[in-house]
């Protein structure tokens, strides 16, 4: 019973306001009609009593009808009573019957007018709702925070709500901008000490007096330092890819796929992973370096998370689909990924499996960068587990419109 009530569609606020307007008008009309009839009936009684009330026991009024007949006494009394009943009947017909019909007609017009008035009253709220929906529908919430309602009108409750909403969104926008600037600045500042650390460790390792223990420790430190450098580079790239791509140039994803596969073939050979490439034309527009990073991270992820028995493979495909988009699909063999865990792979610093140590090769930013780059280009990324183990990741990007001039 509870679920049936929750699933039942609820009337809109505009409809409820219209029904309230109509009900109030009908109640007011019926009240006015009833009061009018009572006042008329009272006035009619007073008129007959003042004009034709007989003295006790007699009725002395005499009436001359249109045809010359005079009525007096009991006949005159009966005539007056008959006239009074007829007048009351006409009053009932005029006030009650015809008034009710007029009330229904005018009530229907009032309902229509109430619908129009309610729509005009709620129009600012629809503007607030539309802006909130555009912000919520943005690929990433912080990318829609530049939207503002900027409601014009009198300083009433609705405008106060819209102005408060604009203030809240503006503060959130500034907060996200500050967060991105902090990540970029902090990552940039951390590069200098890491570079200095690497130089000092290498200097200590190449001294003539360096013992094997010192060299082994230096190799571990260099590996940790390299991972931190990759992490910082990923943070810088992530901060950059979170920005909207304004300066776009033509890019064919087939060329990107060919270039990335050629540069990662040595990594695949060392990991005993076979590479398969199907580079069909897939024209799009955007930042070529970011799109190359997108494909590189997908291929690198496919090589890293694979089987180690020499039977693993990575398949990279670029293609044009029928709905005005181009795609890059990277599938691989590898460990099984639960379907409920797929969406977590696109979160920063999340690494699937047991690779969570400080010396791990992955910084946990690869797929999150892929997602940010795709969203910055107006696209999307989706993934699903592959039957038999591994993952299928598809990055979808928009094709350039016919006649579109790239800035």
Domains and CATH numbers, the chain: 13-50+63-137 (no CATH), 247-406 (3.30.565.10)
DSSP state of 98: I
Q: What is the mean pLDDT of residues 392-402?
A: 87
Query: How much is the pLDDT for 281?
Result: 93
Q: What is the mean pLDDT of residues 351-358?
A: 46
Burial of 182 (C-beta count, 10 Å sphere; 0-12/13-18/19+): exposed
Query: How much is the pLDDT for 49?
Result: 67
Model pTM score: 0.53
pLDDT tens digit string along 235-271?
666 666 556 666 688 999 999 999 999 999 998 999 9
Residue 199 scores a pLDDT above 60? yes
Of 29-38, 53-62, 85-94, 319-328, least confident by mean pLDDT is 53-62
Residue 344 and residue 351: Cα distance in Å, rounded?
Answer: 9
Average pLDDT, rounded, for the chain: 78
Kindly give the interhelix angle for 73-91 and 13-52, rounded to the nearest 10 degrees: 170
Residue 45 and residue 40: Cα distance in Å, rounded?
Answer: 9
What are the residues facing 275 on neighbouring strands? 314
Q: Which residue has the higher pLDDT, 359 or 208?
A: 208
Query: How much is the pLDDT for 62?
Result: 54
Cβ atoms of 112 and 21 closer than 8 Å: no
Residues 6+ apart with CB under 8 A from 179: none
Q: Which residue has the higher pLDDT, 307 or 71?
A: 307
Residue 83 and residue 28: Cα distance in Å, rounded?
Answer: 32
Burial of 388 (C-beta count, 10 Å sphere; 0-12/13-18/19+): exposed
Q: What are phi and psi of 55, to 5 degrees?
A: -70, 160
pLDDT over 70 percentage in the chain: 76
pLDDT over 90 percentage in the chain: 17
Query: How much is the pLDDT for 25?
Result: 87
Of 7-21, 109-123, 295-309, least confident by mean pLDDT is 7-21
Residue whose entry in the numeric block shows the structure tokens 């919520």: 136
What's the CA angle centered on 338, arms 337 and 340, to 5 degrees? Answer: 130
């Amino acid at each position: 019973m509870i679920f049936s009530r929750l699933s039942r569609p609820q009337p809109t606020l505009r409809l409820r306001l219209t029904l309230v307007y109509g009900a109030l008008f009908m109640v007011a009309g019926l009240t006015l009609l009833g009061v009018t009839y009572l006042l008329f009936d009272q006035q009619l009684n007073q008129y007959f009593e003042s004009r034709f009330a007989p003295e006790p026991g007699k009725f002395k009024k005499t009436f001359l009808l249109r045809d010359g007949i005079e009525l007096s006494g009991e006949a005159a009394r009966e005539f007056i009573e008959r006239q009074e009943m007829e007048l009351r009947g006409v009053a009932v017909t005029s006030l009650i019957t015809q008034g009710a019909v007029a009330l229904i007609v005018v009530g229907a017009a009032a309902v229509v007018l109430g619908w129009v008035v309610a729509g005009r009253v709620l129009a600012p709220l629809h503007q607030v709702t539309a802006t909130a929906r555009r912000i919520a529908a943005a690929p990433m919430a912080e990318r829609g925070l530049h939207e503002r309602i900027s409601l014009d009108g009198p300083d009433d409750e609705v405008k106060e709500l819209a102005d408060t909403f604009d203030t809240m969104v503006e503060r959130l926008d500034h907060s996200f901008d500050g967060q991105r600037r902090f990540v970029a600045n902090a990552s940039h500042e951390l590069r200098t000490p890491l570079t200095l650390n690497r130089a000092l460790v290498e200097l200590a390792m190449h001294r003539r007096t360096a013992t094997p223990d010192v060299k082994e420790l230096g190799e571990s430190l260099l590996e940790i330092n390299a991972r931190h450098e990759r992490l910082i580079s990923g943070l810088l790239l992530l901060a950059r890819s979170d920005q909207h791509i304004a300066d776009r140039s033509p890019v064919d994803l087939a060329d990107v796929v060919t270039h990335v596969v050629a540069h990662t073939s040595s990594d695949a050979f060392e990991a005993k992973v076979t590479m398969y490439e199907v580079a069909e034309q897939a024209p799009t527009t955007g930042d070529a370096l970011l799109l190359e990073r997108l494909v590189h991270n997908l291929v690198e992820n496919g090589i890293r998370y694979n089987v180690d028995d020499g039977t693993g493979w990575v398949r990279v495909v670029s293609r044009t689909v029928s709905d005005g988009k181009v795609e890059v699909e990277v599938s691989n063999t590898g460990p099984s990924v639960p379907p409920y865990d797929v969406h977590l792979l696109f979160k920063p610093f999340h690494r699937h499996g047991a690779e969570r140590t400080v010396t791990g090769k992955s910084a946990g930013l690869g797929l999150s960068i892929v997602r940010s780059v795709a969203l910055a280009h107006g696209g999307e990324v989706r993934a699903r587990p592959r039957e038999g183990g591994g993952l299928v990741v598809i990055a979808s990007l928009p094709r350039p419109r016919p006649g579109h001039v790239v800035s």
